[in-house]
Structure formats: structure tokens, C-alpha cells
Amino acid sequence: IINLTDDSFFDGGRFTNDQEVIDYAGKMISQGASILDIGAMSTKPFSTEIDSNEEWERLEKIIATLRKKFPETIISIDTYRAEVAKRSIAAGADIINDISGGEMDKGMISLIAKLNVPYILTHMQGTPKNMQQNPHYNNIFEEIFTFFSVKLKQLKDLGYSSTTILDPGFGFGKTVEHNYFLLNSLKKFKELNCPILVGVSRKSMINKVLNTTPAEALNGTSVLNTISLLNGADILRVHDVAQAREAVELVGFYNKCQNL
């Protein structure tokens, strides 16, 4: 995770110039990151939007610089705006990570199909501004599974043949209990035959249980990353690469030793 924002919940305001971003990206890659997910607008609960021009201004130079500096690394752009997504891919990004699953910009799904690039399809109830105001579901797993199914069919019907990565959207319009139920249910999303991404890094689903702050949530993050991997996660979206890499390696070795 690389946040070019002043107000992200954990690492807002980390960077004061482009070189700091490049150095940080290099450090993450050296620790084992295979994807850099770059966001220029905070989507934490109750956050306010910036306009698309400002979002793009933050991204434009960084995408080009990272692409040139790290040609082998996959670059993902965290945006729910189709215009920003289009410009990002043209500038050299590889993946679009849309926290709204095409709900906040109705042009996104058709754009992704047209560009035919990998797409992280996230479930969110509501918008960042209101998603944590009393989230409610009749059957959370069924509702998210259906949401994914409908979006996958829309993409397929538009001729899309690239990779859709599914993100259940931990903390995006869910209670703490909803989040842990989804963690328990992760394997069932495998029926949709798509890679699964989990992003729980330093989130309130950890802090509300352990009574910690985001700064104190590294160990809790490692525990939930481990549970996610055991339950079928293919990609972890993290702030702390070295620790996540260790979780991936240990769970991989653990799985390998099921039969001797």
C-alpha cells in the first residue's frame, strides 16, 4: 500500500516529495512486494472526496516514475473513477483497484471491459462517507456472493477476458462481526473461480477487538493475514510487507507439509 494522501487512517501524510515515494516503493519491493497499490484519495470511513483532477495530479507523475524505475513490478491504482482509471492505465499502471465495484462510477465496468486489464472488484455497502453508519444485511455472504456474480457476468457479457480479483471489502460497510464472519467464509468465494484479495491491514476490525490503535496493530494484522491465507486468500494488501511475506512463506510451507 502506498497512500499519496494526507488523511489515510494509518499512513496519511507520510510523503513530502516524489523521491520519498520512490524510496519507499523500492524498500517494499526489496521486502517482497509483488504489487504496488497506489491511492491518491483516502477511502477510510467518513472520509471526504477530492475532485478527480486533484486525484489525477497526485498520481500522474508517480505512475510514470515508478513504471520507469521498477519496470518488472505490477502497479495497481486504487480509484473508483473511470476517468482516473483510464489515465492511469495509459500512464503505465497494470491493475485497477475499485473499492466500489463499479457502483460509484457507472462507467467503470464498461471501461474495464474495454481496456481488458486486471480488475480488483471490491464489495462496499454505501460510500466511504456513510458506509459505517449502521451496516445491515439479511445474509451477508449471499448478498456479497450475488454482487460478485452479477458484476462478473456484466464484465463477461461485455467481452472481458482478463483477471478479476475479488475483495470482500473488510471494513467497507460491515460491522466487526460481519468482517470476522466473512473471514470464516472466505473459502466459499472460491466457487467464483477468481483470485481472492484480503485487505485487513491495521484496520478497526483488529483495533476494536484488541483495544489497540492502528500504530499498535501489526501483530493483530499478522494473525489475520495468517487466517486469511489458511482460508484461501491469494493476495494480501498490506502496509507491512516483510511481516506479510513471512506469513505467506510459513503458511505455504505448512500447506506443503500436510502430506509427507
Which positions are annotated as active-site residues? Answer: 203, 237
Instruction: Please provide residue 189's backbone torsions phi and psi, each rounded to the nearest 5 degrees.
Output: -70, -15
Distance between CA atoms of 92 and 65, rounded to whole angstroms?
10
Q: Which residue has the cell 518488472?
A: 72
Residue 166, CA distances (Å) to 117, 120, 121, 223, 239 in order: 14, 6, 5, 21, 19
Buried b (16+ CB within 10 A) or exposed e, 153-167: eebeeeebeeebbbb
Tell me the pairing of strands 2-3 and 164-167: unpaired
Task: Please provide the distance, in angstroms rounded to a whole number, between the alpha carbons at the two ends of the chain.
Answer: 37
